[in-house]
Amino acid sequence: MGYGEMARQDGLGAALERARAATRSEGGGSPDALSVSGAMALAKGALEGVTVRLVGEVSEVSNKPGYKAVYFTVKDQRAALPCMMWNNRFQASGVRLAVGQLVELTGRFTLYAPKGRMNFDVFSIALAGEGNLRMQVANLARKLEAEGLMAPARKRPVPAYPALVGLVTSPRGAAVHDVLRTLRRRFPLARVLVAGVAVEGSNAPAGIVEGMRAVVRAGAEVVLVVRGGGSFEDLMPFNDEGLARMIAKCPVPVVTGIGHEPDTSIADMVADLRASTPTAAAEAVSPARESLGRLFEARSSSLRASMSRALDRAGAEVRRCATRPLFCDAQLLYATEAQMLDLASDRLFRALPANLARDEASVARQRERLACALPASLDRSRTRLEHERERLASCGGALVPRFGQQAALAAARLHDLSPLAVLGRGYAIARTEDGAVVKSVEAAPPGTAVDVAVADGVLACRVEQARRVDTEIIDWEDAS
């Protein structure tokens, strides 16, 4: 059993007695003195029994390939402590050590006897305070970088002369006044849309995102996201993942001016242009008045030179055209066409008399042929017409008797059915004033005026009395 194990089990005093007895048995030194290995073992046993948790700033880091452990040193204002952590524990912690980080360690003290060095054997490690925030920001930055949101190829150029600038910042901070003053001094033609939002606190990222949406909807050509300086915790809203993704997908370029020169947030990394301060951000989206003056002067000189060269070329072209024969003698423009017209007119005057003579001879021949052909044609047509008239007369004479008999039968039938024939046989027809035939005594009660039609006229009568008579209706056609 080692001295360290004895110290843990029996206490420091008992371990010390055993270490001295072992030293006497080895025959070296005085009976009260310990050997070096015994003393180191005694100290090792006493230290390894104590587990502590401490906070310190990392001052050195040694994490070389092939090492079984990571070696680093933590310190405060008055002391420094060398530490070691086995690789499996370090990798499981997920912490990336860097000088200047504030870390919280849990472990125990241990001695490396061959070298006589004391180390702090670290069981667990975590970033403390700002260090933990920095670790979160670093992890998010690596994630967004892996997605390509920070790639230079994705970033868009800022318009040289934006007419409408969107400004997203706190309405009560100094940053808004710095930006407005800079834009008014450098590029007063630009209009500024200000979206006043909170730039600190847990709700700040959502407010900044909504402010960006508002200025983009209003037609901003470029968006400035700015705020003044502050602590790392104060700038944490600009390390928000949602805000970073909004900046990356914004349809117009985004320029950030957050904090001061050394401050860099994730919003700066994904922005199309990162400025060191709000004033620098305003300068990045606005041309200087002096540079505009120089640009206008240069463009004016270039325009004058271009106009002079164009006028010289046009004058030379006019002078060259003026020397052409066409512009010296206007008759040359239509000389060829005039000659062609004269030749055509001469040919026409020569051709017309001959053509008219041929046409007159042709007309005379056609007249003679027509005079010979018309009499024979008329005789043939007249003979055919007489023949057709005879046929029609013979056919009509055969058709008329048959239709005459049918017409006579129909006329006799019509005469039999005519009411006039009935009246001629001595019957009469009574009608009411509205022309209805009186068929029953009920249709003409006493006092009714009726018209009685007889063979040679109409009698105007009034019913004095009505008598019903039973009669037998005989269907003469059935009876016959």
Phi/psi zone of residue 307: left (φ > 0), alpha (ψ -120 to 50 degrees), beta? alpha
Domain ranges for the chain: 42-128, 147-287, 422-463
- Quote the pLDDT of residue 22: 52
- Quote the pLDDT of residue 3: 41
Give the neighbor-by-neighbor strand order of the sheet with 449-454.
429-432, 449-454, 457-462
Within its chain, how far is the Cα of 330 from the centroid?
Answer: 63
Residues 6+ apart with CB under 8 A from 134: 101, 127, 232
Running along the chain, 480 residues long, what does each successive block of 10 average in pLDDT? 44 52 52 76 79 89 90 90 92 84 89 84 83 74 88 90 93 90 90 93 91 94 90 82 92 90 82 91 86 82 91 89 75 78 85 82 86 77 84 75 80 76 77 83 83 83 81 45
Between CA 278 and CA 175 the distance in angstroms is 6
CB 449 within 8 Å of CB 462: yes
CATH of domain 147-287: 3.40.50.2300
Q: How far is CA 269 from CA 71, 148, 283, 479, in A?
A: 32, 11, 19, 124
- Quote the pLDDT of residue 250: 93
Between CA 308 and CA 293 the distance in angstroms is 22
- Quote the pLDDT of residue 2: 42
Between CA 426 and CA 358 the distance in angstroms is 92
Residues 6+ apart with CB under 8 A from 218: 164, 166, 193
Residues 6+ apart with CB under 8 A from 452: 428, 429, 430, 431, 458, 459, 460, 461
**Top-tier CATH class for 42-128:** mainly beta
Nearest to 99 by CA among 69, 132, 65, 57: 57
Position 31, amino acid: P
pTM, 2 dp: 0.43
Please return the burial class of 457, using the count of CB atoms within 10 Å of its CB with bins 0-12, 13-18 and 19+.
Answer: exposed
Between CA 230 and CA 137 the distance in angstroms is 16
